[in-house]
Structure 1
Amino acid sequence: MPAEPVAVAFANTRSSPHRDRIAELDQWRAWCDARPGLKAVGRAVDADGLTLLRAARDDVQEVLRAAAAREDPDPAVVDRLPALTRGPAPGLAWHGDRYELTVPEGGSPAAALAHHLAGAAMGLVVTGPPLAVCRGQGCLKVFVATRADRRWCDGAACGNRARVRSHHRKRSGPDA
Structure 2
Amino acid sequence: MFHWHLTDDQGWRIEIKQYPKLTSVGGWRNGTIIGRYPGTGNTGQRYGGFYTQEEIKEVVRYAQARFVEVIPEIEMPGHASAAIAAYPELSCFPDAATAIAPKTAWNGPSSGKQVQQAWGVFEDVFVPSENTFKFLENVLDEVIPLFPSKYVHIGGDECPKDAWKKSAFCQALIKEKGLKDE
On whether the aligned pair clears a TM of 0.5, the verdict is no
Bigger RCO (CA 8 Å, 6+ sep)? 2
- Name the TM-score class by shorter chain: under 0.3
Which one has a bigger Cα radius of gyration?
1
Question: Normalising by the residue count of structure 1, what TM-score does the alignment of the two structures yield?
Answer: 0.26
Structure 1 or 2: larger helix share? 1
